[in-house]
Amino acid sequence: MSKEHPSFEHLCHAVLEGTADEVQLGQFRARLRADEGQRKTYAEQAQIHALLTWQHGRAAIPALSFLSPTDVPHQPKILTFRSRRASPLLQAALVAGVVLMVGLAFWKFADQRRTPASVIVAKGVSVDILASEGSPYQVGERVVLEKLKMDRGSLRFRISSGAVVHVEGPVALEFVNPMRVRLLRGAATTDVGVEAKGFVVDTASATVLDIGTRFGVSCGDDGATDIVVLEGEVQVYRAGQPKTPETKLASLYGGEAARMTTRDAKIQRLQEAALHGDLLTIRGLNAPASDVVSNVSDNIKKANFYRCYTIVPGGMGEGAPASLTRLGHNKLGWRVMPGQPFPVELVGADVIGTFQGEVIRKPLSDINIELTRPCAVYVLFDSRAEPPDWLRRDFRNTGLRVRSGPWWPNLVATQNLQPDRSGEINIEHSVWRKDVPAAGTVTLGAMTPKQNVNPYAMYGIAVKAL
């Protein structure tokens, strides 16, 4: 192939990728004019190129929720087809089907108000850098970004819509507008606060709509998407689909996590999610999670059940997350006993966050922990409860104590507890230990025999390499 006589496939590819120069465009047009077969070939290539773009969600149409107040200085004009009084039947139909249309119209008009049609709209969104480590940006800097690609380092920034996003390299994302980003690679944790309710994160397989919360989305190199809700609620849709009640795959709440392996796959419960405990951000699908724990799973089989176990590698210590909780409660953390230091033996262990048995209205069953090397496994057991047989048989009580808290009243687990001097409710846990001499699976049983009502806090778990 020469530059003077490039192959048609080379020309075709350059055209579709937008890299053809004027000479190549001229050659391309000449070939199309002269040869019906090459016209057919181009049509095939363009169609597949477009459908693949569409299929992977990269041509998703912007929706109504995109625009933040700062981006739309005035209320947009109402479109003709919206301003007419619609019948109830029609209204229902519109809600069911074409949120899309309304979104398009709103978007378009809002856009037109910002800039005349003849002026090219500047792309990118304004972000303020809040924290930076090993990234090219400085704290306090305000930059307009269209894309962000980092191989290493971490960055926390506030988008003009108010959403605060934390990313760690390797990560790549595109800023569609102040209320929407597209995550191409890596992980992003977003705290939308109140202002940015309706913030959207797109990936190749899913669209995640935030309902006012803190959540993490991670994108693996294989195209899978993990969604972990740290607080509040998000709604998950298939990539490229309009966001309607009919197309919603799941609503996820604090402490829940799900995975979409591909755009067309069934949404599934993600049983474990790795976090950075201090920042409460997620670690990506491509980031190493734990050196000692390769998997945590249980045998709960329940429809629409998405509660997950969290792993914070090396994170055990004062304030380490014991459980992600739901419905607006603060996260539960591990705390020292009054007047005592945090047990040195536990510090730096990988901490596995569990969830309370009441979320499934029965005592939790077995939890399986897969270990990659010899480890000490710790169970942090509610001191008020009678230790079950499996704990007494396989573990030894170290005599160490820690507390979980702050809890809130009116729970089964806290109904007989009073707030301490600081006004908080804490639960004391005894620390049990089992040494596991080789890699393998450790199974932890239920808090109490299965037929018993369980009025105690769920146990916590920590793992440390021997």
Partner 1 sequence: MEETKADASGPTPEFVRLLTASQSAMYAFIVSLLGGVNDANDVLQEANMKLCRKCSEYDPNQPFLRWAYAFARFEVMACRKRNQRSRLVLDDALLATFAAELEESSDDADRRLKVLETCMERMTPRQRELIAARYGRGEAVQDIASRLSRSQNAMAALFYRLRKLLADCVQSVIGNEVRA
Residue 420 interacting with partner 1 (CB under 8 A)? no
Q: Which stretch binds partner 1 (CB under 8 A): 36-44, 316-324, 385-393, 405-413?
A: 36-44
CB 330 within 8 A of CB 364: no
CB 409 within 8 A of CB 426: no
Looking only at residues 248 through 307 of this chain, which bind partner 1 when binding is defined by CB under 8 A? 264
| Member of 34, 35, 37, 43 binding partner 1 (CB under 8 A) | 43
Q: How far is the CB of 142 from partner 1 (least distance, A)?
A: 25
Number of residues that bind partner 1 (CB under 8 A): 76
Residue 466 interacting with partner 1 (CB under 8 A)? no
How far is residue 11's CA from residue 300's CA, in Å, rounded to a whole number? 55
Helices 22-34 and 8-17, packing angle to 10 deg: 120
CB 68 within 8 A of CB 179: yes
Residue 242 interacting with partner 1 (CB under 8 A)? yes
| Member of 223, 314, 374, 419 binding partner 1 (CB under 8 A) | 223
Q: How far is the CB of 374 from partner 1 (least distance, A)?
A: 35
Q: How far is the CB of 32 from partner 1 (least distance, A)?
A: 6
Q: Which is nearer to partner 1, 18 or 288 (CB)?
A: 18
Looking only at residues 3 through 22 of this chain, which bind partner 1 when binding is defined by CB under 8 A? 9-10, 12-18, 20, 22
How far is residue 176's CA from residue 201's CA, in Å, rounded to a whole number? 10
Q: Judging by beta carbons within 10 Å of its beta carbon (0-12, 13-18, 19+), is residue 360 exposed, middle or buried?
A: middle
Residue 108 interacting with partner 1 (CB under 8 A)? yes
* Residue 10 DSSP code: H
Q: Which is nearer to partner 1, 212 or 223 (CB)?
A: 223
Residue 114 interacting with partner 1 (CB under 8 A)? no
How far is residue 151's CA from residue 167's CA, in Å, rounded to a whole number? 11
Q: How far is the CB of 133 from partner 1 (least distance, A)?
A: 24
Q: Which stretch binds partner 1 (CB under 8 A): 98-106, 228-236, 367-375, 434-442?
A: 98-106
- DSSP run (H or E) holding 117: none
Q: Please count the residues of the chain.
A: 466
Cα dihedral value 235, 293, 133, 324, nearest 10: 40
Q: Which is nearer to partner 1, 45 or 365 (CB)?
A: 45
Looking only at residues 57 through 76 of this chain, which bind partner 1 when binding is defined by CB under 8 A? 57-59, 61-62
Please tell me whether the peptide bond between 170 and the residue prior to it is cis, using omega within 30 degrees of 0.
yes
Q: Which is nearer to partner 1, 176 or 346 (CB)?
A: 176
Q: Which is nearer to partner 1, 81 or 305 (CB)?
A: 81
Q: Which is nearer to partner 1, 119 or 194 (CB)?
A: 119
* Closest residue by Cα to residue 204 from 148, 260, 255: 260
- The CB density around residue 201, as the number of other CB atoms within 10 Å, is 26
CB 319 within 8 A of CB 333: yes
Pairing label, strands 272-276, 309-312: parallel
How far is residue 403's CA from residue 324's CA, in Å, rounded to a whole number? 16
Please tell me whether the peptide bond between 313 and the residue prior to it is cis, using omega within 30 degrees of 0.
no
Residue 89 interacting with partner 1 (CB under 8 A)? yes
The string of DSSP letters for 91-112 reads HHHHHHH-HHHHHHHHHHHHHH
CB 201 within 8 A of CB 231: no
Q: Which is nearer to partner 1, 225 or 448 (CB)?
A: 225
Looking only at residues 177 through 206 of this chain, which bind partner 1 when binding is defined by CB under 8 A? 182, 184-185, 204-205
The CA-to-CA distance between both ends of the chain, in Å, stands at: 62
Q: Which is nearer to partner 1, 227 or 316 (CB)?
A: 227
CA angle 456, 458, 463 (to 5 degrees): 145
Phi–psi pair at 139, nearest 5 degrees: -60, 135
| Member of 2, 117, 245, 416 binding partner 1 (CB under 8 A) | 117
Write the Ramachandran bin of 140: left for phi over 0, alpha for psi from -120 to 50, otherwise beta: left
| Member of 23, 54, 134, 144 binding partner 1 (CB under 8 A) | 54
Looking only at residues 390 through 419 of this chain, which bind partner 1 when binding is defined by CB under 8 A? none
| Member of 2, 80, 138, 418 binding partner 1 (CB under 8 A) | 80
| Member of 71, 76, 77, 98 binding partner 1 (CB under 8 A) | 98
Q: How far is the CB of 53 from partner 1 (least distance, A)?
A: 6
The SS3 of residue 25 is helix
| Member of 129, 139, 145, 172 binding partner 1 (CB under 8 A) | 172
Q: How far is the CB of 225 from partner 1 (least distance, A)?
A: 10
Q: Which is nearer to partner 1, 1 or 303 (CB)?
A: 1
| Member of 64, 72, 76, 104 binding partner 1 (CB under 8 A) | 104
Q: Which is nearer to partner 1, 19 or 451 (CB)?
A: 19
Residue 86 interacting with partner 1 (CB under 8 A)? yes
Q: How far is the CB of 235 from partner 1 (least distance, A)?
A: 19
